[in-house]
């Protein structure tokens, strides 16, 4: 049995209720076969640890070398590579003309190499990048999930193999960011495998950049890590991971040991690497408070500790000023509601003058916040306005695998901003970038969800939420046909809504009703220093209705919702709205919505869903109001 199969057998042991779910490798589709054939630069290997006594127990020595035969061992004819950055998480050094480095050693450090563009670090059998070495002589204290195994004394040398790579040297790179896979059990791991992860496994465009898994990779149970590895193991490029608040050792006494199991199984909590003309920095901005009595989760705060900030400053000192700097961390620095990372201003000070973009996950939302955007809540948190784009990457799990199952047997899991499960991809072109979000199982063209927001809908939503979360006693409130607008509602505030997933403050949404001249819709959160726009009138009704009828979070604020008042003089009958959305890169997306104006409000004991957008629509959503 191969190592991956052995790990899976251990992960599956004792899960009798889930024997019907078997994690098998994805079928060898044409796309997968093409992906395999596009991997000439990807090779299996490991960091070379030369055992023996270190010349100085307080200094680690080693070499970064060109591993021409890809055996992970520096042979006589394999030269060292000059000018490569190596770090112990505190200090940053560069290799000399023969590829040699010397760096201070301390217990508990993780030493890592920064992959230069034009080279590729090796990967293990699951495609996880191998570029680091843990030094913890006695190993971790007793931890439920193992922590770091004892490493013994400082070795004679730690050498980092690199192989030349055309893929990582290209100026154009596709860099998928898979945030919050966050499976809490094997059933949810199967949903991830067959959903957004399957989409990634069928792609062949990221051999150089690889996949960045942006934290909350599992949900608290670190024994699921082998299964997580397995569902991503057919990746077309290397996999790197960031830690999230659900990837920690909760029985650790403090933050110092909270990522020991993560570091043992995946690599350092923070590090950097180069692809094309971009320098990617992965940070750990979750600080653990330490275990409560009984080893229970003691909570955390979102912040970047002083050691990382000092390391980042030293790391960037080795990066040319013209490079794009991508700073990725599990928690976003800001989102449309607040400053998320407590010491955001300190990070921005380190990034001052840099061509930089920050990327986060954590919130299970999708956002595209631009330089110059400002919010009242940000100002209260010490950020006057954004100097760098902030992307919030959505989630592979969507709204934690909630809601009914679609025709593929996957939870539709609309996120609280109405976006669906999927993967964010950063497209790098030299030192410039663009971004795209791909909804699970869909093409990149699906970027709009349309709906109708009326007084009747808002009244129903408030009652339905109270009924759903209050024990479901008695009959559920009746919505009727969501695509109907009464004359009574037209006299109030009724809007056509467009949830533009890729939308930003520089986007535009225009609506043409029945072929009339297009009218520009209002961005409900324009990022001009205003306070948070919150309430049922700021909901994406398409997603909110579906979550209210089943399960899942329903937010009342949104960074990318546009709305247009429905003209009060529309005649009774069915009307067609054509909505065209243009993002900040000039890309256009168009969808249509048909709705009906009636003399009276709809009355029904059954909720009838209308106005579906293209793509997979949940098959079991049309539930009766009395369920």
14: left (phi over 0), alpha (psi -120 to 50) or beta: left
Domain spans in the chain, listed from the N-terminal domain onward: 3-43+163-439, 448-598
Question: pLDDT tier at 609 (50, 70, 90 boundaries)?
Answer: low
The DSSP letter of residue 17 is G
Say whether pLDDT at 162 is over 60: yes
Question: How far apart, in Å, are the Cα atoms of 72 and each of 52, 152, 210, 237, 254?
Answer: 18, 21, 20, 18, 35
At a CB cut-off of 8 Å and minimum separation 6, what does 513 contact?
Answer: 496, 567, 570, 575, 576, 577
Question: pLDDT tier at 555 (50, 70, 90 boundaries)?
Answer: confident
Question: How far apart, in Å, are the Cα atoms of 219 and each of 76, 142, 403, 416?
Answer: 46, 21, 18, 19
The tens digit of pLDDT for each residue in 129-138 reads: 999 999 999 9
567 has which bridge partners? none
Question: pLDDT tier at 491 (50, 70, 90 boundaries)?
Answer: confident
What was the pLDDT predicted at 467? 95
The tens digit of pLDDT for each residue in 31-85 reads: 333 333 344 479 999 999 999 999 999 999 999 999 999 999 999 999 999 999 9
Q: Retrieve residue 330's tokens.
A: 């599990």
Query: How far apart, in whole angstroms, are the C-alpha atoms of residue 177 and residue 210?
Result: 9
Strand, coil or helix: what is 294? Answer: coil
Query: How far apart, in whole angstroms, are the C-alpha atoms of residue 398 and residue 158?
Result: 40
Strand, coil or helix: what is 518? Answer: coil
Query: How far apart, in whole angstroms, are the C-alpha atoms of residue 455 and residue 491?
Result: 10
What would the mean pLDDT of 100-111 be, rounded to a whole number?
A: 98
What was the pLDDT predicted at 31? 39
Full strand arrangement of the beta sheet holding 495-500? 448-453, 495-500, 561-565, 522-523
Distance of CA 165 to the CA centre of its chain: 26
Q: Of 3.30.1330.60, 3.30.70.120, 2.60.40.10, 1.10.520.10, which CATH number belongs to 448-598?
A: 2.60.40.10
Please provide the distance, in angstroms rounded to a whole number, between the alpha carbons at the two ends of the chain: 48
Q: Retrieve residue 192's tokens.
A: 């991830």
At a CB cut-off of 8 Å and minimum separation 6, what does 179 contact?
Answer: 213, 214, 215, 216, 330, 360, 361, 362, 393, 394, 395, 396, 424
Q: Which of 197-201, 450-454, 478-482, 557-561 has the lowest mean pLDDT?
A: 478-482
What was the pLDDT predicted at 544? 95
What would the mean pLDDT of 156-168 be, rounded to a whole number?
A: 97
Q: Retrieve residue 179's tokens.
A: 């945030």
What would the mean pLDDT of 373-394 be, rounded to a whole number?
A: 96
What would the mean pLDDT of 546-568 be, rounded to a whole number?
A: 93
What would the mean pLDDT of 344-363 be, rounded to a whole number?
A: 97
CB 504 within 8 A of CB 368: yes
Residues in the chain: 627
* Share of residues in the chain with pLDDT > 70 (%): 89
Query: How far apart, in whole angstroms, are the C-alpha atoms of residue 357 and residue 428?
Result: 12
What was the pLDDT predicted at 271? 98
Q: Using alpha carbons only, what angle is made at residue 120 by residues 215 and 269, rounded to the nearest 5 degrees? A: 25
The tens digit of pLDDT for each residue in 392-427 reads: 999 999 999 999 899 899 999 999 999 999 999 999
What was the pLDDT predicted at 607? 59
Looking at per-residue pLDDT, the higher value among 15 and 478 belongs to 478
Q: Using alpha carbons only, what angle is made at residue 216 by residues 503 and 235, rounded to the nearest 5 degrees? A: 80
Say whether pLDDT at 11 is over 90: no
Say whether pLDDT at 141 is over 70: yes
User: Which helix (H) or strand (E) element contains residue 263?
Assistant: helix 260-265
At a CB cut-off of 8 Å and minimum separation 6, what does 159 contact?
Answer: 47, 48, 49, 50, 62, 63, 64, 65, 74
Say whether pLDDT at 622 is over 80: no
Distance of CA 521 to the CA centre of its chain: 29
Question: pLDDT tier at 620 (50, 70, 90 boundaries)?
Answer: very low
What is the overall mean pLDDT for the chain? 90
Helix 455-469 × helix 541-549 angle, to 10°: 30
What was the pLDDT predicted at 603? 62
Q: Of 3.30.450.20, 3.30.470.20, 3.60.21.10, 1.20.1440.230, which CATH number belongs to 3-43+163-439?
A: 3.60.21.10
Task: Please name which of 542, 540, 532, 456 lies closest in space to residue 494, comparing C-alpha atoms.
Answer: 456
CB 563 within 8 A of CB 495: yes
344 has which bridge partners? none
């Amino acid at each position: 049995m191969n190592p991956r199969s052995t790990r899976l057998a251990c992960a599956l042991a004792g899960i009798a209720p889930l024997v019907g779910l078997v994690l098998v490798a994805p079928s060898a589709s044409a796309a997968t076969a093409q992906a395999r054939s596009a991997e000439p630069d990807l090779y299996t290997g490991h960091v070379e640890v030369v055992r023996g006594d270190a010349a100085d127990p307080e200094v680690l020595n080693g070499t970064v070398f060109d591993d021409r035969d890809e055996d992970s061992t520096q042979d006589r004819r394999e030269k060292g590579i000059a000018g490569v950055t190596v770090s112990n998480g505190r200090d940053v050094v560069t290799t000399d003309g023969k590829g040699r480095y010397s760096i201070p050693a301390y217990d508990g450090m993780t030493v890592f190499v920064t992959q230069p563009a034009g080279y590729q670090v090796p990967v293990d059998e699951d495609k996880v990048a191998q570029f680091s070495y843990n030094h913890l002589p006695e190993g971790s204290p007793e931890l439920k999930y193992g922590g770091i195994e004892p490493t013994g004394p400082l070795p004679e040398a730690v050498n980092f193999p690199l192989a030349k790579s055309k893929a990582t040297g290209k100026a154009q790179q596709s860099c998928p960011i898979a945030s919050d896979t966050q499976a809490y059990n094997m059933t949810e791991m199967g949903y991830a495998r067959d959903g957004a992860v399957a989409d990634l496994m069928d792609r062949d465009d990221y051999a150089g950049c690889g996949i960045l898994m942006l934290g909350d990779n599992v949900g608290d149970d670190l024994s699921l890590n082998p299964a997580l590895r397995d569902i991503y193991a057919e990746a077309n490029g290397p996999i790197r991971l960031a830690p999230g608040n659900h990837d920690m050792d909760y029985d650790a006494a403090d933050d110092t040991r909270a990522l020991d199991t993560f570091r043992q199984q995946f690599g350092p909590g923070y590090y950097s690497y180069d692809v094309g003309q971009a320098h990617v920095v992965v940070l750990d901005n979750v600080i653990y408070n330490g275990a409560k009595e009984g080893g229970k989760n003691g909570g955390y705060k979102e912040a970047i500790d002083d050691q990382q900030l000092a390391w980042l400053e030293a790391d960037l000192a080795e990066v040319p000023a013209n490079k794009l700097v991508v700073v990725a961390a599990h928690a976003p620095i800001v989102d449309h509601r607040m400053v998320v990372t407590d010491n955001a201003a300190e990070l921005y000070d380190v990034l001052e003058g840099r061509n930089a973009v920050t990327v986060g996950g954590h919130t299970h939302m999708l956002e595209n916040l631009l330089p110059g955007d400002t919010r009242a809540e940000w100002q209260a948190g010490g950020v006057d306005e954004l100097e760098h784009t902030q992307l919030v990457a959505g989630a592979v799990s969507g709204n934690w695998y909630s809601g009914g199952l679609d025709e593929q047997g996957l939870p539709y899991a609309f996120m609280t901003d109405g976006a669906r499960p999927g993967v964010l991809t950063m497209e790098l072109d030299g030192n410039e970038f663009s971004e795209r979000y791909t909804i699970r199982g869909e093409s990149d063209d699906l970027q709009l969800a349309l709906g109708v927001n009326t007084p009747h809908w808002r009244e129903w939503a408030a009652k339905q939420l109270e009924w759903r979360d209050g024990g479901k006693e008695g009959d559920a409130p009746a919505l009727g046909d969501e695509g109907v607008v009464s004359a009574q509602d037209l006299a109030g505030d009724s809007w056509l809504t467009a949830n533009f997933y890729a939308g930003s403050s520089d986007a535009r949404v225009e609506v043409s009703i029945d072929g009339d001249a297009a009218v520009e819709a209002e961005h409900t959160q324009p990022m001009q220093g205003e306070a948070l726009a919150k309430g049922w009138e700021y909901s994406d009704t398409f997603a909110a209705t579906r979550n209210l009828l089943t399960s899942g979070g329903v937010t009342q604020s949104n960074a990318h919702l546009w709305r247009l008042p429905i003209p009060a003089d529309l005649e009774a009958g069915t009307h067609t709205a054509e909505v065209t959305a243009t993002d900040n890169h000039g890309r256009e997306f168009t969808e249509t919505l048909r709705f009906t104006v009636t003399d009276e409000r709809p009355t029904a004991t059954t909720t009838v869903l209308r106005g579906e957008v293209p793509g997979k629509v949940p098959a079991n959503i049309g539930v009766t109001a009395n369920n």
